């Protein structure tokens, strides 16, 4: 995996992690370490040297597929045709491993998603 060079003013790949009514709620997904998951993603972003950003959202919408996160392409990924990838059922460590490996490889538009992660991709909600 070759890191994608960042040009001045370029936006890195980013993760938007739902932490609203269902995602991140121990009542919906008991036994999950929701705070630990978010801490792990933030630690990966801190270690990325600015190649990954992580932020949270109160609610992304598709609650039946909680936990939901969105992988947004970098400036380079968008230039290459990458679009945001919505991922459902992202509460386990295997999914996070794949998300982090994909973003390290460049994310949408730069690198194809791992095959098993592609199976977890969902449609964004219609407004």
Could you give the residue ranges of the DSSP H alpha helices within 13-87? 34-47, 75-79
Taking CA atoms, 32 is separated from 37, 45, 55, 57, 68, in Å, by 9, 21, 19, 18, 14
Q: Would the CA dihedral through 22, 72, 106, 8 be positive or negative? A: negative
Global pTM reads 0.87
Residue 93, SS3? helix
**pLDDT at residue 3, rounded to an integer:** 58
Neighbours of 123 (CB within 10 A): 9
pLDDT digits (tens, 9 = 90+) for 22-77: 887 777 777 888 889 999 999 999 999 999 999 999 989 888 888 899 999 999 99
Asked if the peptide bond before residue 56 counts as cis, ω within 30 degrees of 0, the response is: no
Alpha carbon 15 to its chain's center? 4
């Amino acid at each position: 995996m070759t890191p994608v060079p960042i040009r001045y003013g370029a936006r890195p790949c980013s993760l938007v992690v739902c932490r609203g009514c269902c995602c991140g709620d121990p009542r919906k997904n008991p036994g999950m370490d929701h705070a630990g998951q978010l801490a792990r993603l933030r630690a990966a972003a801190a270690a990325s040297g600015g190649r990954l950003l992580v932020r949270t959202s109160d609610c992304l919408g598709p609650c039946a597929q909680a936990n939901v996160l969105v992988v947004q392409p970098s400036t380079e990924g968008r230039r290459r045709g990458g679009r945001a990838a919505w991922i459902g059922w992202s509460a386990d460590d295997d999914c996070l491993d794949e998300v982090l490996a994909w973003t390290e490889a460049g994310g949408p538009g730069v690198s194809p998603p791992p095959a098993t992660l592609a199976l977890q991709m969902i449609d964004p909600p219609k407004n």
